[in-house]
Amino acid sequence: MHPERFMIDVDEAKRIVLSEVTLIGAERVSLRETLDRVLAEDIVSKREHPPWDNSSMDGYAVQWEDVRGAAPESPVSLRVGGEVRAGELPRCGVGKGEAVQIMTGAPIPPGSDSVIRIEDTERSGDRAGILKPCGKGDNIRCQGEDIRLGDPVISKGAWVRPAEVGMLATAGYVSALVFRRPWVSVLATGDEVVEPGEPLGPEKIINSNGYSIAALVQETGAIPVVLDTARDNRRDLDEKVKRALSADIAVVVGGVSKGKYDYVKEVIRDLGCQMKFWQVAMRPGHPLAFGTFDSGLGEWAQKKPFFGLPGNPVSCMVTFYQFVRPAIRKMMGMNDLFLPQVEAVLEEEVRGGMGRRQFVRAVTVFREGGYTVRLTGDQGSGILRSMVQSNSLMVLPEDREVFKAGERVQVQLLPLR
């Protein structure tokens, strides 16, 4: 099939993209730099946690047999033989009829098997009155209760959140091997495009695409490299595309349609791009280009992905979510590539489009045990406000035109910070 003559469906386009994308490589970073990275190694605990039995409460370490009959009207009096604080080893044990005052996190002294909360005691000199009993072993965190030496605690491919950072530290790591964050070039095109703050004539538009796509790249976890806008002439576009190809992934916005001055196709062909497709049966985002360049990077990333996104503001964002985002996530070693998808009940009638899968900007709400979904309004591919007002994309299949209120449809949930 010649990529310039045929339109492929969305699922086939995704399959092609992901089949061409490979891992980008790994690097070792310090513990503080692991947040929002993807692990490139399985994490196996180098130590036990807790490293010894310790108290989960401020109180008194006791022998359970001594206190099981305690009550407010008949407290049990124990001799306090000392205290143990967090960060120090016990200097004495607990014998029958004795107690040791203990702080949260402190090691359990020898001879004790339970801890009484400080709230359930009364202190008088060197005696502690126990007002309530406890269960045997209560308020003690046992050695290895959380993790044991050699336990697998985090899997390769996991996204590192604050909890994972804490676990890495607990497991004895000062650094971790993570997948490298890809550099993604973002190149907007068009004579009509000006930067925010520049003079805006009647024939000009603001470069919103460069900013929205760069933000999407950053949100995905990669590093955006925003280039100066390429003008609609062959020489400038050729120069800018060559710069874009210095990144791990090249994203060009606009110039991929069939207009007289849409030179992207010629430029990337002459630069050696192996094109896979030019059109996808979807709305918005029909003129979507994808191909690869040989990168010669050896072990990692044998092919450099190129995406040509449509120039309409909504189209370029929707196509990014469907194709570029999964490619970046796969490059970074992530296992969960796609937007989360749920089933929702339509609040209103919606019209699709026969022959093309529709990605409709929508508001999805969870109520009464299930999701409902409604449109954000005008669905034109240039209506950026429809993206601002949405938290989801309603996915309407290509084999139907009308979807009635009350029907169930698939909905992709957009990332929320």
**Which pair of structure tokens corresponds to residue 328?**
């970046």
Q: Which residues pair with 253 in a beta bridge?
A: 188, 309
* 3 band by pLDDT with thresholds 50, 70 and 90: low
Average pLDDT over residues 253-282: 80
Give this prediction's pTM.
0.84
**Which pair of structure tokens corresponds to residue 311?**
């120039």
Alpha-carbon gap, residue 176 to 153, rounded angstroms: 13
141-183 pLDDT, tens per residue?
A: 999 999 999 999 999 999 999 999 999 999 999 999 999 999 9
pLDDT given for residue 78 in this prediction: 97
CB-based contact 139:61 (threshold 8 Å): no
- Kind plus residue range of the DSSP H or E element containing 116: strand 114-117
pLDDT above 90 (res 271): no
Alpha-carbon gap, residue 39 to 160, rounded angstroms: 7
CA angle 324, 214, 175 (to 5 degrees): 80
Q: Report the CATH fold assignment for 54-141.
A: Molybdopterin biosynthesis moeA protein; domain 3 (2.170.190)
* 198 band by pLDDT with thresholds 50, 70 and 90: confident
pLDDT given for residue 205 in this prediction: 77
Contacts of 103 (CB under 8 A, 6+ apart): 55, 58, 83, 84, 85, 86
pLDDT given for residue 402 in this prediction: 92
**What SS3 state is found at 9?**
coil
Alpha-carbon gap, residue 188 to 145, rounded angstroms: 54
Q: What letter represents residue 195's amino acid?
A: E
Q: Which homologous superfamily is 7-25+181-331 in? A: MoaB/Mog-like domain (3.40.980.10)
Q: Which residues of 350-374 are buried (b: 16+ CB within 10 A; e: fewer)?
A: bebeeebbbbbbbbbeeeeeebebb
pLDDT given for residue 301 in this prediction: 45
CB-based contact 207:194 (threshold 8 Å): yes
pLDDT given for residue 191 in this prediction: 77
More confident residue, 204 or 331: 331
Contacts of 19 (CB under 8 A, 6+ apart): none
352-373 pLDDT, tens per residue?
A: 877 899 999 999 999 989 999 9
Q: Where are the domains of the chain?
A: 7-25+181-331, 33-49+147-179, 54-141, 341-413
**What SS3 state is found at 288?**
strand
Least-confidence region, from 168-182, 224-238, 275-289, 312-326: 224-238
CATH-assigned architecture of domain 33-49+147-179: Alpha-Beta Complex (3.90)
* 258 band by pLDDT with thresholds 50, 70 and 90: low
Q: What secondary structure does DSSP assign to 247-306, as a single string?
A: SSEEEEES--SS-TT--HHHHHHHTT-EEEEEEESEES--EEEEEEEE---TTS-SEEEE
Least-confidence region, from 65-69, 88-92, 256-260, 334-338: 256-260
**What SS3 state is found at 254?**
coil
pLDDT given for residue 216 in this prediction: 97
More confident residue, 174 or 235: 174
DSSP summary character for residue 322:
I
Q: Which homologous superfamily is 341-413 in? A: MoeA, C-terminal, domain IV (2.40.340.10)
Strands 282-283 and 357-367 come out as: parallel
113-129 pLDDT, tens per residue?
A: 999 999 999 999 999 99
pLDDT given for residue 2 in this prediction: 57
